[in-house]
A and B are shown apart, each in its own frame.
Chain A
């Protein structure tokens, strides 16, 4: 067993931290919040230059073939630095899907992705599905040489920025069946596709995507017909681990800020950090972050497991655990800051909102406990 980072990973972590904290941070975050789709093309280009966009992508397609642990190092720094650009939803998730299942033409998209010249989004959740990707009531019916798609996708992250959408649609079976789900790449500007765009609480953008007789050609299919669930589930697991790492960065930042505030804020003539009830709270926050870090590490390794049950168990454990700890840390960071904690002026409230959104995205704690409980116990 070895928990240490190798020298390349240390370099990666250092450069990501440097960018996130010095090159980004609260000021740039606030500027980016005013931009369309909460995306600064200059920041995305910088991330491409550093090689972080290529990091999770295969070498065969211009990527660096980095491990999931490598990706979490970058994601954690981005979370601490409040980086709004859609690293997880616009890169890790679609990148994994294309890597696993893209045909030759689709694989070429990976090069554009790695270079930062392409924005993609993945739509899988639907109204009333409680974020179970096997639900999928959207239908695709073969017509001529292609397919016609009807249905809607909820809260598709990064869709307002995307030139291409990858969506799940059922080609057979009924909602809940794993079999019969297929993945298609669709053009958000195509006839029959409409987007209701909105900013997200906590930053970033999303859209509800409505497909009303949207036609796609045969080569829009990713992978084999009816076998999309396993692909989607694998890619969502990779995205979930990266999202957990991002949340971990935000949680760590909140503990640091709270500790610093308890040292400097004085009431009753003493630093409020001298009150034992606040000391204990800070310690609980810290311990939560440490345990969450362990979970992210564990999941970042096991998400690559060839045993699908092992992968699912590890990822759901991490997301369920961080769903709870991120909430605790965020709520108490605000509480311990008093009035200033509930204002737009301070980054603490913004981290709070980001972590609240994190708790819901990629399946909430309940969804992941459900999934965990449905798996066989670890051998």
Chain B
């Protein structure tokens, strides 16, 4: 057993760190933990696209850097520690792997390069008003007419739909079979007639989410991924990719670092042993998560199946993100209370803490809620799958 990175990996880390230091946008302060400015985000992703590092989880044959799982992990850690925002995950982490596994060569060559270059944002059209945890009950209908599908229905909670060129969308194509078997995976142009996007403001006061209404939207049959009725299988494949990224370990390291900084700038906090213990406890939890993640990466590297292991990471990772932001708010105290950064006094970490804390309530809800993840793990442990 060896807990250290190999000399090659260490050299890799040094290379990434140097590049990040030179290239992370200078304004990348604490605010950037919540990417919500399309232009800033697009410029940052373009820059990485040019460097060839944006599609960091993709193999070289599809335009990625072809890194090992360990290298990707190092990259993401260095990215976060440099204070740079995470990438918009929908094209890079979710659709990319799906198209590589299920897409036609035409679909791959049309969509993958522009995801890897950062030219096109995607959004994920899964959830509906009546179908959240019970996703398979979704009702948005796609009816085939010749060489097109005509899509009608409503999606909700669609992150960054207002940024996106395309949406990958689960639609019902058959109502006569068990619900999981009647679902198909379609790629929809967000500029198509019949699409209406309405903003939803979240409790951090920002616009990340949307409702997407689809009325007689025409989708060429060439935009079907896999077979008709294969949508659920594809969605499950995608979810395992989605969840490994949701532990947020690298960003938690960054935020703990931010909190340390803010505490050290305020003697009344820095000199308080209870405050230092609270920081230590958060770091201990993060270390447990990190090493669990590293064990998972090791399993991936050996080609062993991930199984429900990603659920455990998601449960603890999201709880820890919440706990760190909670500590930022509570230690910030009165300095955390001015709303929406309207006052420029006080430490910037504390000033933006309540927004993070508010938004991060969502991380135990999205990507499969904590309760749903626990249901999955329980079935596995009890063998009741």
- The answer, among A201, A342, A345, for a CB contact under 8 Å with B354, is A201
Bound Cα distance A366, B335 (Å): 16
- A342 close to B333 (CB less than 8 A): no
Q: Is A2 an interface residue (CB 8 A)?
A: no
In this complex, what residue of A is CB-closest to B353? A201
Bound Cα distance A211, B359 (Å): 36
- B343 close to A208 (CB less than 8 A): yes
Q: Is B31 an interface residue (CB 8 A)?
A: no
Q: Which of B327-352 contact A (CB under 8 A)?
A: 329-330, 333-340, 342-343, 345-346
Q: Is A144 an interface residue (CB 8 A)?
A: no
In this complex, what residue of B is CB-closest to A128? B268
The stretch from B162-170, B220-228, B239-247, B361-369 touching chain A is B361-369
Bound Cα distance A184, B200 (Å): 46
CB distance from A185 to the nearest CB of B (A): 22
- The answer, among A131, A269, A278, for a CB contact under 8 Å with B334, is A131
- Over the window 318-341 of chain A, the binary record of Cβ atoms lying under 8 Å from chain B Cβ atoms (1 yes, 0 no) is 000000000000010011001101
CB distance from B350 to the nearest CB of A (A): 11
Interface residues on chain B, size class:
35 or more
Residues of A within 8 A of B203 (CB): 334, 342-344, 349-350, 352-353
Bound Cα distance A374, B339 (Å): 33
- B338 close to A198 (CB less than 8 A): yes
Q: Is A287 an interface residue (CB 8 A)?
A: no
Bound Cα distance A200, B333 (Å): 12
- A360 close to B337 (CB less than 8 A): yes
- The answer, among B202, B209, B335, B359, for a CB contact under 8 Å with A154, is B335
- A267-B134 CB under 8 A given contacts A200-B339, A364-B330: yes
- B157 close to A339 (CB less than 8 A): yes
- A128-B361 CB under 8 A given contacts A208-B345, A344-B203: no
- A206 close to B364 (CB less than 8 A): no
- A267-B338 CB under 8 A given contacts A208-B343, A353-B203: no
CB distance from A93 to the nearest CB of B (A): 15
Bound Cα distance A353, B204 (Å): 9
Interface size on A, residues (CB 8 A): 46
- A360 close to B334 (CB less than 8 A): yes
Residues of A within 8 A of B333 (CB): 130-131, 360, 364
Q: Is B86 an interface residue (CB 8 A)?
A: no
Bound Cα distance A208, B335 (Å): 10
- A155 close to B334 (CB less than 8 A): yes
Residues of A within 8 A of B362 (CB): 339, 342
Q: Is A125 an interface residue (CB 8 A)?
A: yes
Q: Is A277 an interface residue (CB 8 A)?
A: yes
- Over the window 21-61 of chain B, the binary record of Cβ atoms lying under 8 Å from chain A Cβ atoms (1 yes, 0 no) is 00000000000000000000000000000000000000000
- A199-B201 CB under 8 A given contacts A277-B374, A338-B365, A359-B330: no
- B357 close to A198 (CB less than 8 A): no
Residues of A within 8 A of B339 (CB): 198-202
Q: Is B292 an interface residue (CB 8 A)?
A: no
Residues of B within 8 A of A3 (CB): none
Q: Is B9 an interface residue (CB 8 A)?
A: no
- B334 close to A267 (CB less than 8 A): no
**Most chain A CB atoms below 10 A, which of B202, B340, B365:** B365
Q: Is B177 an interface residue (CB 8 A)?
A: no
- A338 close to B133 (CB less than 8 A): yes
CB distance from A156 to the nearest CB of B (A): 10
Q: Is A233 an interface residue (CB 8 A)?
A: no
Bound Cα distance A352, B365 (Å): 16
In this complex, what residue of A is CB-closest to B272? A130
Bound Cα distance A281, B379 (Å): 21
Bound Cα distance A200, B371 (Å): 32
- The answer, among A129, A155, A196, A345, for a CB contact under 8 Å with B337, is A155
In this complex, what residue of B is CB-closest to A327? B326
Bound Cα distance A341, B346 (Å): 29
CB distance from A319 to the nearest CB of B (A): 14
Residues of B within 8 A of A206 (CB): 337-338
Residues of B within 8 A of A154 (CB): 334-335
Residues of A within 8 A of B366 (CB): 339
- B329 close to A334 (CB less than 8 A): no
Q: List 13 A–B pairs whose Cβ atoms lie within 8 Å, in order of A's numbering.
A: A128-B266, A200-B338, A201-B336, A201-B338, A206-B338, A266-B130, A268-B133, A334-B203, A335-B370, A338-B365, A339-B362, A342-B202, A356-B358
A-side interface residues toward B, CB under 8 Å?
A: 125, 127-131, 154-155, 196-202, 206, 208, 266-269, 272, 275, 277-278, 331, 334-335, 338-339, 341-345, 349-350, 352-353, 356-357, 359-361, 364, 366
The 7 A-B residue pairs whose C-beta atoms are closest, nearest first, are: A349-B203, A155-B334, A267-B134, A198-B343, A198-B338, A344-B201, A201-B339
- 12 more A-B residue pairs beyond the given contacts A128-B266, A269-B134, A343-B209, with a C-beta to C-beta distance below 8 A: A201-B339, A277-B371, A335-B369, A338-B133, A338-B365, A339-B366, A341-B365, A342-B361, A345-B200, A349-B203, A349-B358, A364-B330
